[in-house]
Amino acid sequence: MPAPNPSELAFIPFVSVENMMKLVHGIGLETMLRELADYIEEDFRRWELFDKTPRVASHSAEGVIELMPTSDGEVYGFKYVNGHPKNTRKGLQTVTAFGLLARVDTGYPVLLSEMTVLTAIRTAATSAMVARHLAPKGARTMAMIGNGAQSEFQALAMKAVCGIDAIRLYDIDSAATEKAMRNLAGHGITLTACATPEDAMEGAEIITTCTADKQYATILTDNMVGSGVHINAIGGDCPGKTELHKDILERSTVFVEYPPQTRIEGEIQQMPEDFPVTEMWQVITGDAPGRTDAQQITLFDGVGFATEDFSALRYIHDRLNDTGLYQNLDIIADPDDPRDLFGMLQRAAG
Amino acid sequence: MPAPNPSELAFIPFVSVENMMKLVHGIGLETMLRELADYIEEDFRRWELFDKTPRVASHSAEGVIELMPTSDGEVYGFKYVNGHPKNTRKGLQTVTAFGLLARVDTGYPVLLSEMTVLTAIRTAATSAMVARHLAPKGARTMAMIGNGAQSEFQALAMKAVCGIDAIRLYDIDSAATEKAMRNLAGHGITLTACATPEDAMEGAEIITTCTADKQYATILTDNMVGSGVHINAIGGDCPGKTELHKDILERSTVFVEYPPQTRIEGEIQQMPEDFPVTEMWQVITGDAPGRTDAQQITLFDGVGFATEDFSALRYIHDRLNDTGLYQNLDIIADPDDPRDLFGMLQRAAG
């Protein structure tokens, strides 16, 4: 990012939901999922550079509001995101989000963006990037347990990044499965609606669990999971919210993003504090093994980490140039003399 | 805040710098400082309700970027703010900020606002609210040490809230003093430019220090401070940045906002961890004494706390109705069916 002059810095580009959707369609969703998976992987590769902290959460009876900051030393980013499972009953979304990038050297923001749509895309791109490293070679079938707002993005990412071409869908609410089937029709994926989770598992090399209830749930029990699969468990993502029976964790090699956060929020919150996990960035740099044999169950205990949002915002910032798909937001005061904020205010009265 | 319907929630009001300045002039700056001092005091009075945490800081060689979240259980707020002392050399501001309010029950944002101008106003309103409790009765003269971007706001707040009508200004850069003198002319305050800090102290009942260098500085030494004054020390607000000689702290009764944050960032970072301080909210509720005698030196070690930004955003939210001084920002995705984010995206392609 070259340094713009101060008057340009008085405005920052804002990507609205409408413009984000136009940007997605301009690039093409599958292309974007592939490119974003590469951006996320690139930032995992330089993991040690990042200023990392567990997200800053404000919990209430109804849900959680979180701030997720990080920095690579040159660029700072953060996301605001909520998680309110009961929102859907009021016609609202479980998760909404927006995010920001700023220059570390001046602290001035350079991008504000909606991230409800973008988070759905980055979450799917992260899952697919991880599956590219851990799933059995030549995997073509995925079981998709939980067919809510994130499910279609997961499906397309696994297709675009990993070559999955058959998806078996299950949800406790069959209307959700029907919605996902409708949305995914015509995308070159063989779709099968399943009446039970066991049915969905049939022949699946990747199992994705993505359900939303804020409770200790057991979406998968031990006898449902055969050897050699990759489990992409992304619905257990806050304290008190899990999806897998702990026996599955005992049988699996567990991969995580950032252990201090995953131990609080992920499936491994059920396990002792020293339960062994592998950090995904080390698999990517080659410092730790990924899948080592065909019988192994690999399990990605994904909770979503700040660097993934950083990667997504960085991608949007890079792709925004010349598209015109943003508004300039007058969010930074820009007095002619930086010490004369009061003078600027006073002159505005005239 | 009554619950709006979902489609209204797809947009949130955004107050730009331009609209904030119009709002300030519409209300009148002195009126706003008085009203905001009352909002801040009201939130200090219900201090125990708030979810409090030291701000989340990302430090670099050039400065700091901070997130300051808090919640009263019904409304959540946070501020993004940077502090980059060398920015002014590039024609940029030391501090820029913006903030957000959201509903705790749904996590949906309800206000996004510039806060560069608003932070200057809330910082001054906080100082004045505190001085209203601690300064010697009938105080009319203030020494203003440091005549940068915050100084005129401090001056007007002390006038509007505490009845100060004479201000003695000093800055190591006389151009800054001249700027502040120009800006404050015609506001009903007797202004005196001083050649030395000692000269500025002459007859002052309140001493405000507000300088910006990121270093351990000694703006005030012990022999400069007479008995009975109130010191409003607001420039020492991050690790490694102080303004007062520690001997002054030893002689003073020190009042702070939130001890866990002030011990890291404030003047008392020079002192042992158990150095006694009084929490300002307890003075306001009557749980702790404020000024107890006329000879006492009271010292407000102000670093700025999240509840003050919360109060400021709450005030703006309350005052925004019907003014039209905002834009509607399309920052929240609003699918007809909250589980059908993908369908919304897909339909946007058409």
The distance of A293 to chain B (nearest Cα, Å) reads 36
Q: Taking CB atoms and an 8 Å cutoff, what residues of chain A touch B107? A: 62-65, 82-84, 87, 96
Residue A141: what pLDDT?
Answer: 98
Selection from B344, B317, B290, B261 nearest residue B56 by Cα: B261
pLDDT tens-digit readout, B252-268: 999 999 999 899 889 99
Q: Taking CB atoms and an 8 Å cutoff, what residues of chain A touch B342? A: 120, 149, 151-153, 180, 183
Q: Taking CB atoms and an 8 Å cutoff, what residues of chain B touch A17? A: 10, 330-334
Q: Taking CB atoms and an 8 Å cutoff, what residues of chain B touch A64? A: 107
Residue B6: what pLDDT?
Answer: 47
CA B39 to chain centre: 13
Question: Phi/psi class of residue A168: alpha, beta or left (left: φ > 0; alpha: ψ in -120 to 50)?
Answer: beta
**Are B343 and B337 contacting, i.e. CB atoms less than 8 angstroms apart?**
yes
Residue B311: what pLDDT?
Answer: 98
* Pick from A106, A330, A331: CB nearest B92: A106
Return the half-sphere exposure (C-beta side, CA atoms, 13 A cut-off) of residue B77. 25
In the numeric block, the tokens 């990080």 are attached to A70
Q: Which residue of A has its CA nearest to B52?
A: A58
Residue A17 pLDDT exceeds 80? yes
Residue B190: what pLDDT?
Answer: 98
Q: How confident is the model at residue B10 (pLDDT cuts 50, 70, 90)?
A: confident
Q: Could A29 and B345 be called an inter-chain contact, meaning their C-beta atoms sit closer than 8 Å?
A: yes
Angle at B192 between CA B191 and CA B197, to 5 degrees: 130
Q: Would you call B67 helix, strand, or coil by DSSP?
A: strand
Q: Could B341 and A100 be called an inter-chain contact, meaning their C-beta atoms sit closer than 8 Å?
A: no
Q: Could B183 and A342 be called an inter-chain contact, meaning their C-beta atoms sit closer than 8 Å?
A: yes
* Pick from B17, B105, B151: CB nearest A332: B17
Residue B57 pLDDT exceeds 70? yes
Mean pLDDT of all residues in B147-173: 96
Those residues whose C-beta lies under 8 Å from the C-beta of residue A118, and which sit 6 or more positions away, are A20, A97, A99, A312, A313, A316
Pick A243 or B111 by higher pLDDT.
B111
Q: Which residue of A has its CA nearest to B327?
A: A329
Q: Could A331 and B98 be called an inter-chain contact, meaning their C-beta atoms sit closer than 8 Å?
A: yes
Q: What are the C-alpha distances in Å from B11 to residues A140, A152, B23, B108, B211?
A: 41, 25, 21, 10, 39
Residue B20 pLDDT exceeds 50? yes
Residue A236: what pLDDT?
Answer: 67
Q: How confident is the model at residue B333 (pLDDT cuts 50, 70, 90)?
A: confident
Residue A215: what pLDDT?
Answer: 65
Return the half-sphere exposure (C-beta side, CA atoms, 13 A cut-off) of residue B228. 10
Mutate to test the interface with B, among A51, A117, A327, A341 (most CBs of B within 10 A): A341
Residue A114: which H helix or E strand, with range? strand A109-114
Residue A19 pLDDT exceeds 90? yes
Selection from A161, A314, A181, A312 nearest residue A232 by Cα: A161
Sheet holding A190-193, edge to edge: A190-193, A166-170, A141-145, A206-209, A230-233, A297-301, A252-256, A278-279
ipTM reported for the complex, 2 dp? 0.90
* Pick from B71, B76, B176: CB nearest A339: B176
The one catalytic residue in A43, A171, A237, A301 is: A237
pLDDT tens-digit readout, A231-264: 999 986 667 778 888 999 999 999 999 999 899 8
Q: What is the mean pLDDT of chain A?
A: 92
Q: Taking CB atoms and an 8 Å cutoff, what residues of chain A touch B117? A: 333, 341, 345
Selection from B334, B336, B321 nearest residue B109 by Cα: B334
Q: Of the ranges A303-312, B164-173, B338-347, which one carries the lowest mean pLDDT score?
A: B338-347
Residue A54: what pLDDT?
Answer: 76
Q: Is B350 exposed, middle or buried (0-12, 13-18, 19+ CB in 10 A)?
A: exposed
Q: Of the ranges B88-97, B226-235, B310-319, which one carries the lowest mean pLDDT score?
A: B88-97
Alpha carbons B92 and B62: distance in angstroms, whole number = 13
Q: How confident is the model at residue A4 (pLDDT cuts 50, 70, 90)?
A: very low
* Pick from A10, A64, A69: CB nearest B58: A69
Q: Is the dihedral of CA A9, A113, A279, A46 positive or negative?
A: negative
DSSP 8-state code for residue B50 = S
CA B13 to chain centre: 23
Q: Taking CB atoms and an 8 Å cutoff, what residues of chain B touch A79? A: none
Q: Of the ranges A65-79, A335-349, B272-286, which one carries the lowest mean pLDDT score?
A: A335-349
The distance of A251 to chain B (nearest Cα, Å) reads 33
Alpha carbons A82 and B102: distance in angstroms, whole number = 10
**Are B68 and B223 contacting, i.e. CB atoms less than 8 angstroms apart?**
no
Return the half-sphere exposure (C-beta side, CA atoms, 13 A cut-off) of residue B135. 27
Return the half-sphere exposure (C-beta side, CA atoms, 13 A cut-off) of residue A269. 19
pLDDT tens-digit readout, A181-226: 999 999 999 999 999 999 999 999 999 999 866 566 677 888 888 8
What is the phi/psi pair of residue B244, to 5°?
A: -110, 145
Residue A227 pLDDT exceeds 80? yes
* Pick from A9, A18, A22: CB nearest B92: A9
* Pick from B29, B332, B346: CB nearest A116: B332
pLDDT tens-digit readout, B26-37: 999 999 999 999
Q: How confident is the model at residue A168 (pLDDT cuts 50, 70, 90)?
A: very high
pLDDT tens-digit readout, A36-64: 999 999 999 999 999 988 789 899 999 99
- A152 forms beta bridges with none
Residue A125 pLDDT exceeds 70? yes
Residue A1: what pLDDT?
Answer: 46
The distance of B18 to chain A (nearest Cα, Å) reads 7
**Are B172 and B146 contacting, i.e. CB atoms less than 8 angstroms apart?**
no
Q: Taking CB atoms and an 8 Å cutoff, what residues of chain B touch A69? A: 56, 58, 65, 67
Mean pLDDT of all residues in B281-287: 98
Q: Would you call B163 helix, strand, or coil by DSSP?
A: coil
Mutate to test the interface with A, among B9, B17, B84, B153 (most CBs of A within 10 A): B17
Tokens of B197: 């800090």
pLDDT tens-digit readout, B191-222: 999 999 999 999 999 999 998 665 666 778 88
- Whether B237 is a known active-site residue: answer yes
Tell me the residue type at B309: D
Mean pLDDT of all residues in B107-113: 96
Alpha carbons A91 and A43: distance in angstroms, whole number = 36
Residue A191: what pLDDT?
Answer: 98
Residue A237: what pLDDT?
Answer: 64
Residue B108: what pLDDT?
Answer: 94
The distance of B278 to chain A (nearest Cα, Å) reads 27
pLDDT tens-digit readout, A265-311: 899 999 999 999 999 999 999 999 999 999 999 999 999 999 999 99
The one catalytic residue in B43, B237, B301, B309 is: B237
> Using only C-alpha atoms, what is the Rg of chain B?
21
Residue B1: what pLDDT?
Answer: 46
Q: Could B331 and A16 be called an inter-chain contact, meaning their C-beta atoms sit closer than 8 Å?
A: yes
Q: What are the C-alpha distances in Å from A149 to residues A80, A93, A99, A212, B29?
A: 18, 9, 20, 10, 46
Bridge pairing between strands A242-244 and A278-279: unpaired
Bridge pairing between strands A56-59 and A64-71: antiparallel
Count of A-B CB contacts under 8 Å: 253
* Pick from A76, A334, A340: CB nearest B179: A340
Alpha carbons A184 and A322: distance in angstroms, whole number = 31
Tell me the residue type at B20: M
Q: Taking CB atoms and an 8 Å cutoff, what residues of chain B touch A121? A: none
Q: How confident is the model at residue B9 (pLDDT cuts 50, 70, 90)?
A: low
Residue A157 pLDDT exceeds 90? yes
Sheet holding B327-329, edge to edge: B56-59, B64-71, B75-83, B97-103, B109-114, B12-15, B327-329
Q: Could A56 and B69 be called an inter-chain contact, meaning their C-beta atoms sit closer than 8 Å?
A: yes
Q: Could B56 and A67 be called an inter-chain contact, meaning their C-beta atoms sit closer than 8 Å?
A: yes
**Are A142 and B100 contacting, i.e. CB atoms less than 8 angstroms apart?**
no
Residue A164 pLDDT exceeds 70? yes
Q: What is the mean pLDDT of chain B?
A: 92
Alpha carbons B82 and B61: distance in angstroms, whole number = 13
Q: Could B62 and A98 be called an inter-chain contact, meaning their C-beta atoms sit closer than 8 Å?
A: no
Q: Taking CB atoms and an 8 Å cutoff, what residues of chain B touch A63? A: 106-107
* DSSP states of A139-180: --EEEEE--STTHHHHHHHHHHHH---EEEEE-SSHHHHHHH
| Exposure string over A142-177, b if 16+ CB within 10 A, otherwise e | bbbbbbbbbbbbbbbbbbbbbebebbbbbbeeeebb
Q: Could B25 and A332 be called an inter-chain contact, meaning their C-beta atoms sit closer than 8 Å?
A: no
Alpha carbons B23 and B40: distance in angstroms, whole number = 19
**Are B279 and B299 contacting, i.e. CB atoms less than 8 angstroms apart?**
no
